[in-house]
Every structure is written in C-alpha cells, then in structure tokens.
C-alpha cells in the first residue's frame, strides 16, 4: 500500500519555532513604530503625535482617568456601534448576495437579466454612493449600513457566481451516473463545490465592510469609530485619529481571523483553500 500524500501535519512543534512564528510578524510593525518616532522627533512637527502619546490616548480612550474628556473610556460604545453596523451591512449583503449569486450562476435567464446591470454598477466606487445614500436613508446609521452593504455585496455575489459557474463538469457527470439529479444535485454538488469561492467572497466583502464603515460614519452619526476619527480631525486631535485607526485595524483583523477559522473548519477537505 502506497502512502497517502499530504498527511495532515499537527500544528505546534517545539518551543523555538513556535516563538519564531509569533515574533516574525511583529518585526515590521516595530520598525514602523520606531521610524514614526524618529521622524516626528527629527522634524519636530507638532501635527503628528509621538507613538507614546497615541498609546496614552488609547489608554484613556479605553480606561479613562488621564484626560477625562468626552472620549475617555468610550471605546466600547464606539466599537460596539461600528461592529453592529459592519455586521448588519455584511450579513445583509451575504443574505442577498449568496442566493443571488447562486441563481445567477445556475439559471441562464437570471444571469442574462441581472448580470449586465451588476457589471455596470460594480465599477462605481462605493464612496460615490454616499450623497445618494444620505438622501435615501437620511443622516444617521442607516446610510452607513447601506454603504457597508454595497461594499460587501459585490465581492460576495461575484465570487458566488464564479464558484457556481466553475464547478468541474466531470463532477456533474459523476453525480448523474450515481443517480443524483435535480435539486439534490444543487445541494450535494453545486453548493459544496462553490463553498470555497463563496468564502473568498465573504472574506473580501468583510474587508470592504470595515473600510466603508469609516466612510459611512463620517457623516452625521455621533458614535462609531468613523465618527471618532472625524471628530478627531475637527478638533485637531491627531492622537485620537490615529487611535481610531488602530482600533479599526485591530477589529478588522480579529474579525477576519474569525472568518478564516470558520473557513478552515468548513473547508478541511481543501488544503489549498486554507488562508
């Protein structure tokens, strides 16, 4: 009996390589921090704070007790508002985008009906929708959610369509000779075969959702990480602006890890789709 290829390799191993795996990604951020610090000191600019000042601001933003102003100890409020809007828009985009993508991929009439319109709407930058979305939804969170929805929708619907369209034709032949037809063909072959593409779309869309929440919250909402950045700008509080940027970066990163973890679990069969 020949050996199976691609035997699953257990993660972990000895301490040193594991330490290395954790430390390597930290090198570049540390260099950037150092460069930032040096540049500010050398130029003597007062427009950009030192990393240390941003750290203090972040601490105050999180725990309070330093500046005791309108932003002290408010991170959870802004964070929670943004998360709700990001996921509200993202889940709405998935709820519409995945079924629509499946239909476009499977049914010729739907494809001919909808695909050209999508292709025309797709290149329009989502930020260009901002004025219209404010007219549609007024000043407030709904306009932001709508932008997030639009940003996440296109990658999800396009990748889902692609996944359905690119199922290996042999698999349909194999399924039909094994007695699998009609709606069970869709459930047992098309859907699982398209899953890697669907997840690609979800991951891309989720990234866009975090980008667009800032744009969305820059107009007329009192709370949210985007609003914090906008307030920081108005008040010339660059430390606050950078704090907001860091929180968004971390939040986007962590919530991407969640999607990747779900992806890896659902797609254990397909090592090349592991992110």
Partner 1 sequence: MHEPALHRSARPTLAVKALSKRFSMGEQTVEALRDVNLTIGKGEFVCLIGASGCGKSTLLRIIAGFETASAGSVEMYGLPIAAPGPERGMVFQDFALFPWLTVKENIAFGPRQRGLPQSKLDEVSARYTDMVGLTKFANYYPSQLSGGMKQRVAIARVLANDCEVLLMDEPFGALDALTREKLQQELLEIWERTKVTVIFVTHSVEEAVVLSDRVVVMTAGPGRIEHDARIHLPRPREVSAIDFNQVRRDITQRLTSHVGVKAIPAAA
The contact pattern for partner 1, residues 31-50, with x = CB under 8 A and - = no contact, is --------------------
Smallest distance, partner 1 to C-beta of residue 269, A: 4
For partner 1, which is the closer residue by CB, 87 or 186? 186
Cα distances (angstroms) measured from residue 207 to each of 71, 179, 252? 26, 41, 7
For partner 1, which is the closer residue by CB, 10 or 46? 10
* Contacting range for partner 1; rule: CB under 8 A; set: 75-83, 110-118, 169-177, 235-243: 169-177
For partner 1, which is the closer residue by CB, 192 or 207? 192
Smallest distance, partner 1 to C-beta of residue 9, A: 11
4 belongs to the binding site for partner 1 (CB under 8 A): yes
As to burial, measured by CB atoms within 10 angstroms (0-12 exposed, 13-18 middle, 19+ buried), residue 64 is middle
Residues making up the chain, counted from first to last:
275
Smallest distance, partner 1 to C-beta of residue 262, A: 15
For partner 1, which is the closer residue by CB, 22 or 269? 269
For partner 1, which is the closer residue by CB, 26 or 178? 178
Residue among 70, 80, 81, 84 at smallest CA distance from 232: 70
Answer for the pair 226, 127: CB distance below 8 angstroms, yes or no: no
Residue among 77, 71, 73 at smallest CA distance from 232: 71
Smallest distance, partner 1 to C-beta of residue 7, A: 7
Smallest distance, partner 1 to C-beta of residue 271, A: 6
- Show Cβ contacts of residue 8 under 8 Å, excluding neighbours closer than 6 positions: none
Size of the site for partner 1 (CB under 8 A): 31
Instruction: By CB under 8 A, name the one of 177, 183, 234, 254 that touches partner 1.
Output: 177
Task: Report the site for partner 1 in 178-197 (rule: CB under 8 A).
Answer: 178-180, 184, 188-189, 192-193, 195
For partner 1, which is the closer residue by CB, 2 or 120? 2
For partner 1, which is the closer residue by CB, 131 or 271? 271
Smallest distance, partner 1 to C-beta of residue 160, A: 16
Answer for the pair 204, 158: CB distance below 8 angstroms, yes or no: no
For partner 1, which is the closer residue by CB, 48 or 185? 185
Task: Report the site for partner 1 in 233-272 (rule: CB under 8 A).
Answer: 267-272
Residue among 114, 190, 193 at smallest CA distance from 157: 114
Answer for the pair 147, 129: CB distance below 8 angstroms, yes or no: yes
**What is the C-alpha separation between 16 and 203, in angstroms, rounded?**
32
Site residues (CB under 8 A) for partner 1?
1-8, 168, 170-171, 173-180, 184, 188-189, 192-193, 195, 267-272
């Amino acid at each position: 009996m020949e050996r199976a290829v691609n035997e699953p390799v257990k993660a972990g191993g000895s301490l040193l390589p594991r330490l290395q795996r954790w430390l390597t990604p930290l090198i570049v951020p540390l260099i950037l921090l150092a460069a930032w610090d040096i540049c500010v000191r050398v130029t003597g600019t007062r427009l950009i704070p030192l990393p240390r000042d941003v750290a203090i601001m972040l601490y105050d933003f999180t725990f309070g007790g330093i500046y005791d102003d309108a932003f002290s100890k408010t991170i959870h409020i802004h964070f929670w508002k943004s998360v709700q809007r990001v996921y509200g828009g993202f889940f709405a985009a998935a709820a519409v985008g995945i079924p629509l993508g499946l239909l476009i991929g499977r049914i010729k009439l739907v494809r001919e009906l909808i695909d050209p319109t999508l292709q025309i709407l797709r290149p329009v930058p989502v930020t260009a929708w901002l004025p219209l979305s404010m007219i549609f939804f007024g000043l407030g969170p709904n306009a932001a959610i709508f932008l997030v929805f639009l940003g996440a929708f296109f990658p999800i619907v396009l990748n889902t369509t692609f996944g359905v369209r690119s199922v290996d034709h042999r698999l349909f032949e194999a399924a039909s000779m094994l007695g699998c037809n009609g709606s069970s063909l869709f459930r047992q072959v098309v859907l699982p075969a398209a899953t890697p593409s669907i997840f690609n779309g979800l991951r891309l869309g989720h990234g866009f959702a975090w980008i667009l929440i800032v744009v969305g919250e820059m107009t007329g909402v009192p709370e949210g990480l985007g609003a914090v950045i906008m307030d920081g700008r108005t008040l010339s509080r660059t430390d606050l602006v950078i704090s907001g940027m860091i929180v968004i970066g971390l939040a986007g990163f962590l919530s991407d890890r969640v999607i990747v973890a779900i992806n890896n679990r659902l797609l254990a069969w397909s090592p090349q789709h592991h992110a």
